[in-house]
Amino acid sequence: MVVLSFVVLVGIAVLTCLFMAWVLGANSNSPPFAPAIGANAISTMQAAFVIGLLAAAGALMQGGSISETIGADLIDGVTITPLAATAGLLTAAGFMSIGIYTRYPIPAAFATTGAMVGVGLSLGGDPAIATYRRLGIFWLLVPIMSGGLAYATATVLRRDDVPETVGVPLLAGVVGAIVANVRLGVIPDPTAEQGTLAGFVARQLGGGPMLAAGVDLGTVLVTIAVGLLAFAWVRRQVRESVESGIRSFLLVLGGIVAFSSGGSQVGLATGPLENLFQTELGLPGSLLLAIGAVGILAGAWMGAPRLLQATSREYAQLGVRRSIAALVPGFIIAQLAIALGIPISLNNIILSGVIGGGLAGGSAGVSRRKIGVTITFWLLTLGSSVVVGYGLYRLFATVIGG
């Protein structure tokens, strides 16, 4: 009877994880293509389809670090039980469902972090103050970094003395160099769980002498080569047709950010089940990430169009240049967060970039009321999710036991 109850509880926890991943696919993975839709570079339905595929791939290849943070680092002294995981995931998914219904994107990182802190405290755990400090500092810096970089980039792209055959390709070169150093689970690395394209190619060519910060010369040269290739490709596209070339780069950027969003968001759904899968069931973490990836894929295909419309049309009417300015910092910050294992909100990053890029052309295109309401939603989400998560687990423990 005890075994049967445990199996049922595990099944409910996995279904809740799938539901949470579905909501993430519908809600938090929508912003990467919002600037492209706003610039009429792709249709809403096409964007939803591509987002699903790329976000699912990112979840499988990059989702491990965020999952570990959510599952083990938010509370000290206790481990998350299947019942607690279910309560936390239901709380977070509920908050984001409200965001989908009201068309105000709720930050998944805030909702999930708050919910898991709440259930952890309800289990009798101690607050992980050092983790909270690290997350808080990064979250506070996100709007400043994203909005500031987007504003500066958009301003440069709009300058008459910076030819578009130079400015846009340079941005592409920077993005290409960063892509070459993104850690992916499918690339082998003898010193880490995930390897980079630049590191892998450099090892095949012999590596070379070590430079500062433990990086070998081969990796640096491969990074530069990939950046130059990206520069050359976009420059050729822009020289053939400025508008067509810039739109092509915008779509590639959207795809890269969608991939990054999957890697940064899937852990919010799978993290609460880390202890259950790897310790109690002895199953590989890749299986858990695959479950999350399936949920994200389904959510993006079924639920993303509504949020895509909201974020692309109502926050700012951007052209293709300011849209690029919004996505570049989004990609950089998302990958930085994945590398550091910090759960982040793609809504926060992309919308800050959208606003920064919009302000570069004047404030007329930015809905200040909607921005204010969105920030209020974010702050309320973080605080109230702790309370709801705490209370929901207590209710479950009282009714079900555990």
What is the tens place of the pLDDT at every residue in 241-274?
Answer: 888 888 888 888 888 988 998 888 888 989 889 8
State the pLDDT at residue 360: 67
Which sign does the torsion angle of CA 235, 237, 241, 244 carry? negative
Contacts of 61 (CB under 8 A, 6+ apart): 184, 185, 186, 194, 263
Across the range 388-393, mean pLDDT stands at: 93
What is the Cα–Cα distance from 373 to 234, expressed in whole angstroms?
Answer: 38
Quickly state the pLDDT bin for 210 (edges 50, 70, 90): confident
Across the range 27-45, mean pLDDT stands at: 72
Record the pTM.
0.85
Quickly state the pLDDT bin for 319 (edges 50, 70, 90): low
pLDDT at position 316 over 50: no
3-class secondary-structure state, position 322: helix
- In our burial notation (b when 16+ CB lie closer than 10 A, e otherwise), range 43-64 reads ebeebbbbbbbbbbbbbbbbbb
Number of domains making up the chain = 1
pLDDT digits (tens, 9 = 90+) for 277-311: 888 788 887 888 999 999 999 888 887 776 676 66
Paired strand residues for 183: 196
Cβ-contact 290, 67 below 8 angstroms: no
Paired strand residues for 316: 366
Quickly state the pLDDT bin for 105 (edges 50, 70, 90): low
Radius of gyration of the chain (CA): 21
Contacts of 145 (CB under 8 A, 6+ apart): 329, 333
pLDDT at position 119 over 90: yes
**Closest CA relative to residue 47, chosen from 288, 373, 327:** 327
What is the Cα–Cα distance from 179 to 119, expressed in whole angstroms?
Answer: 37
Q: Are strands 126-127 and 195-196 parallel, antiparallel or unpaired?
A: unpaired
Q: Which domain holds residue 304?
A: 2-399
Cβ-contact 103, 310 below 8 angstroms: yes
Phi, psi (degrees; rounded to nearest 5) at 366: -110, 125
How far apart, in Å, are the Cα atoms of 222 and each of 175, 189, 207, 214, 234? 14, 16, 10, 16, 19
Cβ-contact 208, 202 below 8 angstroms: yes
Cβ-contact 355, 275 below 8 angstroms: no
pLDDT digits (tens, 9 = 90+) for 340-381: 889 987 767 877 777 777 676 665 455 667 677 777 777 888
Q: Encoding tokens for residue 236?
A: 């050729």
Quickly state the pLDDT bin for 315 (edges 50, 70, 90): very low
State the pLDDT at residue 295: 92
Across the range 55-59, mean pLDDT stands at: 91
Q: What percent of the chain has pLDDT over 70?
A: 87
State the pLDDT at residue 3: 65
Contacts of 248 (CB under 8 A, 6+ apart): 234, 237
In 185-279, at which residue ranges do the beta strands (DSSP E only) sit? 195-196
Q: Encoding tokens for residue 158?
A: 């709009």
pLDDT at position 129 over 50: yes
pLDDT at position 2 over 60: no
State the pLDDT at residue 364: 45
Q: What percent of the chain has pLDDT over 90?
A: 22
Q: What is the DSSP string of 103-168?
A: T-PPPHHHHHHHHHHHHHHHTT-EE-HHHHHHHHHHHHHHHHHHHHHHHHHHHHHT-TTS-HHHHH
With vertex at residue 156, the alpha carbon angle to CA 373 and CA 321, rounded to the nearest 5 degrees, is 60
Across the range 65-87, mean pLDDT stands at: 89
